Amino acid sequence: MIELSLAEIATAVGGRLVLSPAGGSQEDRISGESQTDSREVQQGQIFFARRGEEMDGHRFAAQAVDAGAALIVAERETDDRVPQILVADTTEALGALATEVVRRVRAAGVLKIVGITGSNGKTTTKNLVAAMAERVGPMVASAKSFNNEVGGPLTMLRVEEDTRTLVAEMGASAEGEIARLTAMAPPHIGVVLTVGLAHAGEFGGIETTFRTKSEMVRDLPAEAVAVLNRDDAYVTRMGDLTAARVVWFGRNPEADVRASDIDSDASGTRFTLHIAGDSLPVVFRVLGEHHVTNALAAAAVGHELGLSLADIVAALEGATRAARWRMEVLGGRDGVTIINDAYNASPDSMSAGLRTLAQIGKPEGRTVAVLGAMSELGEYSIEEHLRIGLQAVRLRISELVVVGVEARNLHISAINEGSWDGESVFFAEQDEAFDYLARTLQPNDTVLVKSSNAAGLRFLGDRLGEAFA
């Protein structure tokens, strides 16, 4: 974080500064990062004592001070060994400080802000854009999937005076949340990847999802850039909603940044990248043809950041996986390949994962889909689980292993399809599924493990990866 005095921080968050009896002044300066988890606090950092649904950060203020916190922002007085700033709402204070820090750095004229949203692919695209931004100069990018009202500001507060690019993943579970994040860090480049059924249960339907995702580009000024997916019908509609210059990406021949000659196998995807009349071949080692969309979005951002086509291709080819638990290739013993893609799952990403499995399976082995529940689909849940089960059959996946009661409709749909006879099995618990797979997987099998984060199948994927390492 840029260096600020205690008084400046108090003003930014609209709080009351309480100095420690041990001494100090309101002109004392702080430049450490901010944390909301006392276990993450390091020397000189700021601890925001948030009240969550299950935990109250005020209870852990002493641990934060023990770990080296130089300042506590809280809603009531806690540990007086360090200065405290008392506010009405700690989460709002976190956002307010992020807004002020970004405003100051942006005003210096060096910082470029890239905001990324979409129903699928945000983290992968963020990682690819970050790899390109590193070629421009010092950059800050969201850690893990920090993309909400807490993770977003924590990322923004890592910006310093020499930061050239802030790459901010911006997610939402309700209307208005992306707008709040873009108000904190107004993007110079706003990216929208897809509009799908992810979180449809929380949003209340696809049209609400569309309105929410379009918040990324609605308020962009004319001098900004909206990077939009030409292959997604809902995202295409956003071109009429923004005053910004639009850059289209996709496979569509009309896209400004597009891919052709796409060919996928177990080693990744090869395609030709076209930008501004030039083209180069790309060997993209991130598994799954659907990730070409994310690569194109990142390439469009890289071009807007001033990178040459050669540098863009080099950044793409340097990526070896989307992210932890996202199309992560494990295993290898006896030719068994485990693809752990169980960090998130929506109907779109589940469908894409199955298509990838069908494409890359070895002729001498089987394809095995180990699937768990897709969360947050609301009224669409039964229909979409049934549809995915049917798709597994129609793609001729060799075996479907369904794990967890919430995912049972996947199994029911598959066994109701007359062309299958015993190729779908169901287990209520992960341990049962692991024992079965460890016993029955055959040499050269290719296994996809896919579920929403809440279903926890990423841990089953890791176990299988270790068992067949």
Distance CA 149, CA 237 (A): 27
CB 220 within 8 A of CB 242: yes
Q: What per-residue string of b and e applies to 302-329 under the rule 16 or more CB within 10 Å gives b?
A: bbbbebebebbbbbbeebebbbebbbbb
Distance CA 10, CA 97 (A): 9
Annotated binding site: 118-124
pLDDT of residue 379: 80
CB 235 within 8 A of CB 241: no
Span 347-389, pLDDT tens digits: 888 998 999 999 899 999 999 999 999 987 888 889 999 999 9
pLDDT of residue 198: 56
Annotated binding site for ATP: 118-124
Distance CA 431, CA 454 (A): 16
Distance CA 402, CA 424 (A): 7
Determine the topology of domain 328-467 in CATH: Protein-Tyrosine Phosphatase; Chain A (3.90.190)
Closest CA to 9 of 126, 122, 152, 157: 157
| Assigned superfamily of 4-87 | MurE/MurF, N-terminal domain (3.40.1390.10)
CB 207 within 8 A of CB 155: no
What is the H or E stretch that residue 100 is in?
Answer: helix 90-107
> Could you please report the per-residue DSSP string of 204-224?
TSHHHHHHHHTHHHHT--TTS
Residues making up the chain, counted from first to last: 469
> Could you please report the per-residue DSSP string of 366-387?
-EEEEE-PPPS-GGGHHHHHHH
Residue 278 β-bridge partners: 275
Architecture of domain 110-317: 3-Layer(aba) Sandwich (3.40)
Angle at 116 between CA 115 and CA 121, to 5 degrees: 165
**Residue-averaged pLDDT of the chain:** 92
CB atoms < 10 A from the CB of 104, how many? Answer: 16
H helix and E strand count, the chain: 17, 22
Cα–Cα distances in angstroms (integers) from residue 188 to residues 111, 112, 141, in the given order: 9, 6, 15
Three-state DSSP at 357 gives: helix
Q: What percent of the chain has pLDDT over 90?
A: 75
Span 46-99, pLDDT tens digits: 999 998 777 899 999 999 999 999 999 999 999 999 999 999 999 999 999 999
CB 319 within 8 A of CB 128: yes
Asked if residue 135 has pLDDT above 60, the reply is yes
- What are the two backbone dihedrals, phi and then psi, of residue 222, each rounded to the nearest 5 degrees? -60, -30
> Could you please report the per-residue DSSP string of 133-178?
HTTTS-EEE--TT--STTHHHHHHTT--TT--EEEEE---SSTTHH
Domains of the chain: which residue ranges? 4-87, 110-317, 328-467
CB 167 within 8 A of CB 133: yes
> Could you please report the per-residue DSSP string of 265-303?
ETTEEEEEEEETTEEEEEEE-SS-TTHHHHHHHHHHHHH
Sign of the CA dihedral 251, 256, 259, 261? positive
pLDDT band at residue 432, thresholds of 50, 70 and 90? very high
Q: Is the pTM of this model over 0.75?
A: yes
Pairing of strands 189-192, 257-265: unpaired
Span 266-311, pLDDT tens digits: 788 999 999 999 999 999 988 888 889 999 999 999 999 999 999 9
pLDDT of residue 200: 55
